[in-house]
Amino acid sequence: MNSVAVKWIERLALGSSIPLFLLMWQFASTSGLVNELLFPPPTAVAAALWDEFANGTLMLDLGMSTMRVAVGFLTGAAVAILIGLLTGRYAIVSNFLTPIFQLLRPIPPIAFVPIVILWFGLTEWESGFWYSGACSSPFGSQPIWVCIAPTQRWSAPPARLAPPTGC
């Protein structure tokens, strides 16, 4: 096949994948293959979305979700940066927290769902905890590396970190 035909077929596949998926979803839901209450058809989802937009609850829900994400992000980042700075700066804090972090690190986050539901219930606190935890790992690991002396990070500091000449 020539390259023009291949590109045309690739574009056709790209353009038809989502409509085909929506048609299969509609068929599965309306034909009874799946429970319509658990897997509503896309037409019902679109109608509900339009109703929520028309009566204003969609914007309220979006605002509340954005607030939850922002508060969770800021809380998680602040706590993680503080813990990261303390862990990187003070050996006693590092010696105390590193085994706990290493113990929890291989556990998939989904495994914590039942524990978090037991601790916080299905409340605003639970969603805030998830958002905080989701951003704490990257924000916590970077300050540790900033605080550790360069001789501990590298066996020989890179040339770009050498002090400037003529100071």
Q: What is the pLDDT of residue 55?
A: 94
Residue 80's pLDDT band (cuts 50, 70, 90): confident
- 44: CB partners within 8 A, 6+ apart: 29, 36
Do residues 83 and 75 lie in contact, with contact meaning Cβ atoms separated by under 8 Å? no
Q: What is the pLDDT of residue 162?
A: 45
Residue 161's pLDDT band (cuts 50, 70, 90): very low
Q: What is the pLDDT of residue 72?
A: 80
pTM exceeds cut of 0.85: no
Mean pLDDT to the nearest integer, 97-114: 80
Q: Which residue has the tokens 């990187």?
A: 88
